[in-house]
Structure 1
């Protein structure tokens, strides 16, 4: 937990700089693939994901350590070969985990956030799940366990394997020659993120593309079919926490509404998108039928709202940087209190990005929670040791934040009322 937090203190600024560089590069070349609010939503999703991971909010039904202790037939020698085998085993496991997440209703909820952006850029790579609390796919690491690859090697290689999937989320790199036959390239992954019928449920591989070719799920990017990004049931929100549980909420409602008891149970493991016929008829859900003619989610907001959203995101990054750098000092249960504050902060400002006046309620809860922490501790998790000015500055931020949010919320409420009168 503490080690991973230290790694993220280095990785987060690097990823942020690369995301901003892609934005600048696209603007410079006249091919900007990064919309501001979409980027902030993606970065916010990344914040919630790494916070969940650092807090250890996930449970493995079978741990890799337990598995290797019971099935290892040999022990690979310590050295580069062990790490190479671990990397390949993680890639094999990643292919099947990824494929199952796409092909079954229940598991799609854990992955929908990653495909929710209607753009394709480095920022959307950071859209990662917070809803995958229970992990059941350790079994796919069976090849590594049989070879006796130690769990500490898997622990080292796993973050590297994950970070290596960041770079190919871009539209600025075309096909890469002979590498197209070996590794996953931006061209391959553009296909994977597309909602075109020709591209759906293809190219699940994470590092090596040969898994898709071996298991029959490969699709090359075609010049005559430009990829259109997103999901066929668009999420229509910038709030990453809502997105994470949107599909599960739909499944729950559909199971409750289904007249046939068989449908109530089988809906969970049916192919992704399946709904009971009676429920689909009575409660239709909007679905994109023509990928070339639909309106991207883009609620119109002022320049001030764009600026304020960046201020809130920047504050959130400062908060989690302090958390990741001081995990041992904050300790338990303090880190979970801190994590709850971060989640409230993300929920509040991304809800405001949706022009939702109700965001004021969440912002009020966040700020009252923050001030109550300061009152109860007489500090903000020990930050006063660095400067006595930080505490009053935080109180000032909480007050400013609720005032500004109230101003935006009132403006949106007034505009919504005027619009309803006009209609």
Structure 2
């Protein structure tokens, strides 16, 4: 846990700089692939994901260590070849886990957040799940366990394998020649994130594209079919916590509402998007039919609200970095209290980004909880050791944050007036031409 936190302390600034660099590059080239609120939402999703991971809020029913101890045929040492084998096996596992997530209703919930952005850029790569609490797919690492790849090798290679999937979430790199035959490239992954019928549920590979070619799920990016990004049932919110559970909530409601007993059970394991016929007729949900005519979700935010949203995200990032840097001293139960504060913070300011009047209630709850943590100990998890005035600075932030949120809500934020589908500024055919 502490080691992972230290790794994230290094990785997070690198990812943030890369995202900002891509945004500035796009504006310089006249091809901006970012919208402010979508960008903040994506990066806030990354905040919730790494917080959940550091807290260890998931379990594996079958652990890799157990498989190695009981099933390994060979006893091999950690050499460069061991790491290469581990990387290769992890990529094979990643292909199948990814493919299953796209094909079965229940497992789509953990992956929908990653596809929920209607833009395609480096920020959307940070949209990762918090809704998976049980890992059912460790058995896909069986080949590595049988070969005797040590557990510590997997623990090192796994985050490297994940980080290596960041770079290809971009519209600014076209075809890459012979590399297209070996590696997953931005062109391949644009196809994967698209909801065009030609592209849907294709290119599941994570590092090596030949898995898709081997198992029949490969699709080349077509020059005359510009990708349209997002999910076919748009999330229509900037709140990453809500997005993480939207699909699961729909499945639960459909299972409850259907009159067909068989459908109550099989809905969870049917192909992604399947709904019982009686429920689909009685309770229709929005689905995108006109790919090049529909309008992306956008809350019509003032410049002031965009600036405030950036400030809130920046402060949250500072809280998070302090958290990761002091996991060893905060310990249990403090880390869970701190993690809960991070989740409440993201939930509150993204509700305001959605122009939801309930944002004030969430902001008050977050700041009340933070104040309790602050004043019950007279410290912010050891901050006094470095900065004795930190208590007053954080308390001042809680007061200011509540007042500013109340001001925005008082200015007239209501769902009817503000949560809308904004005027489309660029056609998809223009935005997605490479």
> Which TM-score band applies after superposition, normalised by the shorter structure?
over 0.9
Verify the 8 A CA contact 1:191 1:220 in the aligned structure 2: yes
- Say whether residues 1:316 and 2:316 are aligned partners: yes
1:412 Cα deviation (Å)?
Answer: 3.2
Find the counterpart in structure 1 of residue 247 from structure 2.
247
Find the counterpart in structure 2 of residue 110 from structure 1.
110
Find the counterpart in structure 1 of residue 146 from structure 2.
146
1:410 Cα deviation (Å)?
Answer: 1.7
Matches within 5 A, 1:40-59: 40-59=40-59
Find the counterpart in structure 2 of residue 349 from structure 1.
349
Verify the 8 A CA contact 2:59 2:133 in the aligned structure 1: yes
Q: After superposition, what is the alpha-carbon deviation per residue over 1:21-50, rounded to whole angstroms, capped at 9, x for unaligned?
A: 000000000000011111000000000000
Find the counterpart in structure 1 of residue 287 from structure 2.
287
Cα distance in structure 2, aligned partners of 1:147 and 1:43: 38
Verify the 8 A CA contact 1:356 1:412 in the aligned structure 2: no
Verify the 8 A CA contact 1:120 1:169 in the aligned structure 2: yes
- Say whether residues 1:259 and 2:259 are aligned partners: yes
1:78 Cα deviation (Å)?
Answer: 3.1
1:228 Cα deviation (Å)?
Answer: 0.5
1:214 Cα deviation (Å)?
Answer: 0.5
Find the counterpart in structure 2 of residue 100 from structure 1.
100
> Structure 1 residues 402, 104: closer, same or farther in 2, change over 3 A?
same
1:417 Cα deviation (Å)?
Answer: 7.1
1:70 Cα deviation (Å)?
Answer: 1.3
Cα distance in structure 2, aligned partners of 1:159 and 1:125: 14
Find the counterpart in structure 2 of residue 38 from structure 1.
38
Find the counterpart in structure 2 of residue 162 from structure 1.
162
Q: How many residues align?
A: 419
Find the counterpart in structure 2 of residue 124 from structure 1.
124
Verify the 8 A CA contact 1:355 1:412 in the aligned structure 2: no
Moved over 6 A (4+): none
Cα distance in structure 2, aligned partners of 1:158 and 1:5: 15
Higher mean alpha-carbon deviation, 289-298 vs 237-246, is at 289-298
SS in 2 for 1:377: coil
Verify the 8 A CA contact 2:119 2:230 in the aligned structure 1: yes
Q: After superposition, what is the alpha-carbon deviation per residue over 1:77-112, rounded to whole angstroms, capped at 9, x for unaligned?
A: 431110000000100000000000000000000000
SS in 1 for 2:286: coil
Cα distance in structure 2, aligned partners of 1:417 and 1:243: 22
Cα distance in structure 1, aligned partners of 2:51 and 2:364: 22
SS in 2 for 1:111: helix
Cα distance in structure 1, aligned partners of 2:238 and 2:171: 22
1:290 Cα deviation (Å)?
Answer: 1.9
Find the counterpart in structure 2 of residue 339 from structure 1.
339
Q: After superposition, what is the alpha-carbon deviation per residue over 1:251-294, rounded to whole angstroms, capped at 9, x for unaligned?
A: 00000000000000000000000000000000000100121110
Cα distance in structure 2, aligned partners of 1:319 and 1:371: 14
Q: After superposition, what is the alpha-carbon deviation per residue over 1:124-160, rounded to whole angstroms, capped at 9, x for unaligned?
A: 0000000011001001001101100000000000000
1:76 Cα deviation (Å)?
Answer: 3.3
Find the counterpart in structure 2 of residue 205 from structure 1.
205
Cα distance in structure 2, aligned partners of 1:413 and 1:289: 30
> Structure 1 residues 418, 226: closer, same or farther in 2, change over 3 A?
closer
Give TM-score scaled by structure 1 length.
0.98
Cα distance in structure 2, aligned partners of 1:356 and 1:56: 31
Find the counterpart in structure 1 of residue 426 from structure 2.
none
SS in 1 for 2:190: helix
Find the counterpart in structure 2 of residue 411 from structure 1.
411
Verify the 8 A CA contact 2:355 2:414 in the aligned structure 1: no
Cα distance in structure 1, aligned partners of 2:414 and 2:99: 46
1:122 Cα deviation (Å)?
Answer: 0.1
> Structure 1 residues 322, 196: closer, same or farther in 2, change over 3 A?
same
Cα distance in structure 1, aligned partners of 2:235 and 2:113: 9
SS in 2 for 1:183: coil
Verify the 8 A CA contact 2:78 2:150 in the aligned structure 1: no
Verify the 8 A CA contact 2:18 2:122 in the aligned structure 1: yes
- Say whether residues 1:63 and 2:63 are aligned partners: yes
1:356 Cα deviation (Å)?
Answer: 0.5
Cα distance in structure 2, aligned partners of 1:414 and 1:352: 10
1:413 Cα deviation (Å)?
Answer: 3.8
Aligned-CA RMSD value? 1.2
Higher mean alpha-carbon deviation, 215-224 vs 409-418, is at 409-418
Find the counterpart in structure 1 of residue 302 from structure 2.
302
Cα distance in structure 2, aligned partners of 1:414 and 1:60: 43
Q: After superposition, what is the alpha-carbon deviation per residue over 1:320-358, rounded to whole angstroms, capped at 9, x for unaligned?
A: 100000001001000000000000000000010001011
Find the counterpart in structure 2 of residue 396 from structure 1.
396
1:297 Cα deviation (Å)?
Answer: 0.3
> Structure 1 residues 236, 415: closer, same or farther in 2, change over 3 A?
closer
Matches within 5 A, 1:264-275: 264-275=264-275
SS in 2 for 1:412: coil
Verify the 8 A CA contact 2:355 2:415 in the aligned structure 1: no
